[in-house]
Structure 1
């Protein structure tokens, strides 16, 4: 399905216009925060663990991995041994 393949899409409305047209209206997710997930590391050279960053929308759904973070955007941090991070799924 389209929404599963593209987690950045929040909503799709399809309208058929006769005789041979299809109108698609797509609403994209808007980031309201960055979800910062720290994976624990037991290696000496990386004692703080590795951090992964994801945009999160107003519904608590992670939808895009990011590498550069705006310092003014809200950050939500989480540390855990095992967390199933899947784009398009609710995380908080």
Structure 2
């Protein structure tokens, strides 16, 4: 299955490279949901590899620090992932 998925993705990207006007919608939507999820994961992985080049603004840093401080002040109010899923599956 991986070979099949890889071949499809490779073919789609080669086609996209040849004709930039026909980018994502037509080609990506031809993939199965599982293949699209895998594509998104692969794209995300490639971003995380290069994420050292990313910087955040002082405003973003301040917001992250504010949220982290709120978390530390209210750790008794947090939910586990299992608890969150149960609330949404009711």
TM more than 0.5: no
Larger Rg: 2
More helix by share: 2
Question: Which is bigger in relative contact order (C-alpha 8 A, separation at least 6)?
Answer: 1
TM-score (norm 2): 0.17
Identify the structure with the greater strand proportion: 1
TM-score by length of 1: 0.16
